[in-house]
Amino acid sequence: MARLAGKVAIITGAASGLGAASARRFVEEGARVVITDLDDAAGQALADELGQNCAYIHDDHMNRAQNEAAVALAVERWGGLDILFNNAGTPFSGAFEGIDDAALDRVVDVNLKGPFRMTQAALPELRKRAADSASGASILFTSSLQALMARPNFTPYTAAKHGVHGLTRGLALELAPENIRVNTLCPAATDTPMLKEFLPGMADDWEEAKSRFRSTIPLGRMPDPIDTANAAVFLASDEARMITGIALPIDGGSTAT
Torsion angle (degrees, nearest 10) of CA 103, 106, 112, 118: 180
- Residues 91 and 170: their CA atoms lie apart, in Å, by 24
Which of 157, 213, 222, 244 is catalytic? The answer is 157
| Residue 56 a catalytic site member | no
CB 219 within 8 A of CB 252: yes
Residue 255 CA to residue 257 CA, distance in Å, equals: 5
For residue 222, what is the DSSP state? P
Find the DSSP H helices in 94-193.
101-108, 114-132, 155-175
Is residue 59 a contact partner of residue 37, using CB atoms and an 8 Å limit? yes
Helix (H) or strand (E) holding 232: helix 225-236
* Contacts (Cβ under 8 Å, ≥6 apart) of 31: 4, 5, 7, 8, 9, 53, 83, 236
- Count CA within 13 A, CB hemisphere, residue 164: 37
Give the bridge partners for 56, in sequence order: 35
Which residues are tagged catalytic?
A: 157
